Every structure is written in C-alpha cells, then in structure tokens.
Amino acid sequence: MTQANTSLEANDFFQFEADFVESLRCIPMQVRLKLDTCGVKLKLEHWHRFSEGERDRLTQLQCSDRESTVAYTAYVQSLVQRVQGTPASTLAIDPHPPWHNGEAVPEDVQTQAQAVGAEIELEQWRSLRPLQRFALIKLSRPSHENRNFYPALVEFGLVSL
C-alpha cells in the first residue's frame, strides 16, 4: 500500500480509506476516478466478484490519456463480462469534470463542509490535486454516506483537528 499524502499520484490510496485498502473490499477513490474517466458504471457486487489480483490491477493500471483510458475500459468490461455475462453499463463522460475545475468549489462540497463546521476557501480548493477534489465531490453527495468527508478534509490539510 502506498503512503497517502498531499502529493497523491493517481494510483495512491487515501488515509481515510485505510480500513478497507488491504482487502480492497470497497472501490477506492482512485479506481472510482478512473471509472468516471472511462465512463463505466461498476457495481460493488461486480467488484466483490473480481479476484484480489484483478482488483489490485485496477488500482495499478493508468487511465490518464486516450490510449490508457481505452485499455482501462476494455479491461474493466472484460472483467464484468466474465462475472456477469454482460458488459457493465456505461455513463456519459463529462468533458469538463468538476474535479478539474480549480476556479469554483462545488456547492455540495461547500454545503457538506459547512455541515461539519468548516469552509473551503477557493485558494484551498485550487491547491488540491484533481484526485483530492474528486474524493471531496464524491464524499459530499447527498446520497453518499459522508462519514469520510471530515477525515478527508483533515488529511488534505483543509481543517485542523
């Protein structure tokens, strides 16, 4: 497992994910980012049916340019096809995803921050890497269990304990 810090790379894990990283029982944020990048809707039930090696490979494979994204998509779809008998659903790919926008803190993120007694300044948002912004966006969704939002704020240096 890679040590998480403020200079995360695309194949690193966050400290707030530590309780499930060893077993990869949940889909880590960096894989979720790759799935959003390639437009594949991977269900947790599919993830659980992949071997440990396959889940680990999904954390290691790059998905950062056209060629690697096409290869990542094909690999994920082959895994889902094997365990389900049909390919995974696909999602529209946002050409301008909000985690690449350092010019505005998304409303859901700011609302969730305020709910835990914090506020994210624009300069702080700008200082985050896209993977960190992605994590905060995902962790702040109203339909998401938000228990890791505050630990993420601490880990990313946005609030102090």
d(CA 93, CA 59): 20
Q: Give which of 73, 53, 52 is closest to 62, Cα–Cα.
A: 73
d(CA 86, CA 126): 40
Name the average pLDDT for the chain: 89
* Torsion angles phi and psi, residue 154, rounded to 5: -65, -50
Mean pLDDT, rounded, for 136-143: 90
Q: Give which of 143, 121, 32 is closest to 153, Cα–Cα.
A: 121
* pLDDT bucket at 1, cuts 50 / 70 / 90: very low
d(CA 75, CA 57): 10
Task: List, for residues 22-72, the tens digit of each pLDDT value.
Answer: 778 889 999 999 999 999 999 999 999 999 999 999 999 999 999 999 999
- 79 touches 71 (CB < 8 A): no
Residue 18: which residues within 8 A CB-CB, separation 6 or more?
none
Task: List, for residues 103-125, the tens digit of each pLDDT value.
Answer: 999 999 999 999 999 999 999 99
* pLDDT at residue number 59: 93
* pLDDT at residue number 160: 79
Query: For a pLDDT cut of 70, what percent of the chain falls above it?
Result: 91
Whether pLDDT at 98 is above 50: yes
Whether pLDDT at 8 is above 70: no
Q: In the chain, which ranges are continuous DSSP H helix?
A: 18-21, 29-38, 44-49, 52-60, 66-84, 107-115, 122-127, 130-139, 149-155
